[in-house]
């Protein structure tokens, strides 16, 4: 789900997460690769959309997870924003021939609160940043990607939940 603007009103719309990417040499019948995050708004894949406010969106979140731990035993570590039960991740969207409406979230370098787990993080927006993300200049949105979200507003929750659920795994209780 994303929030985008249409005819001056904000609407909530269900979309597919990830822009379809056809790699060179792919068979025309092969499924495109989904690109679900944007590392650099100035790259050719993104710059045309990023310059046009009609392709910007807000991705509402209650939290986001990153993998933590050794390969094969990674667990989910959840992050949220202090005192914000719902917050926004900066995104871009478009209509695609392959999957219909699609979206992707903009990433930035991590802040110190996230650094123990990952070196990147979503571009999180304060409520008073929403209008500027949706309507601002290209330089404005590049500024969002370059800034660091405040460390003291991030809440981290480590869990024992596996990052990857193994196929065919049987829970112990199911055996008896």
Q: Can you tell me the mean pLDDT for 4-29?
A: 93
98 occurs within a structural domain: yes
Taking the alpha carbons at both ends of the chain, their separation in whole angstroms is 40
Q: pLDDT digits over 34-58, tens only? A: 999 999 999 999 999 999 999 999 9
At 107 the pLDDT is 98
At 169 the pLDDT is 52
174 occurs within a structural domain: no
Q: Read off the CATH number of the domain in which 122 is found.
A: 3.90.1680.10
Domain count, the chain: 1
Task: Please compute Rg for the chain using Cα positions.
Answer: 18
Residue 172 — very low, low, confident or very high, per pLDDT cuts 50/70/90? very low
Chain-centroid distance of CA 95 in Å reads: 18
Pick the closest to residue 93 from 36, 33, 152 (CA basis). 36
């Amino acid at each position: 789900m994303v929030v985008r603007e249409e005819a001056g009103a904000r609407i909530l719309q269900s979309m597919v997460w990830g822009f379809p990417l056809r790699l060179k040499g792919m068979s025309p019948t092969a499924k495109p690769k989904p690109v679900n995050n944007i590392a650099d708004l100035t790259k050719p894949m993104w710059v045309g959309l990023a310059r046009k406010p009609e392709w910007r969106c807000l991705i509402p979140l209650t939290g986001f997870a990153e993998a933590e731990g050794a390969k094969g035993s990674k667990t989910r570590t959840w992050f949220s924003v202090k005192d914000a039960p719902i917050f926004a991740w900066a995104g871009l969207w478009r209509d695609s021939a392959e999957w219909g409406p699609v979206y992707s979230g903009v990433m930035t370098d991590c802040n110190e609160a996230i650094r123990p787990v990952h070196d990147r993080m979503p571009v999180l927006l304060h409520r008073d940043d929403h209008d500027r993300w949706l309507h601002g200049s290209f330089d404005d949105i590049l500024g969002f990607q370059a800034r660091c979200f405040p460390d003291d507003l991030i809440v981290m929750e480590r869990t024992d939940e596996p990052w990857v659920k193994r196929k065919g795994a049987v829970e112990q209780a199911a055996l008896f």
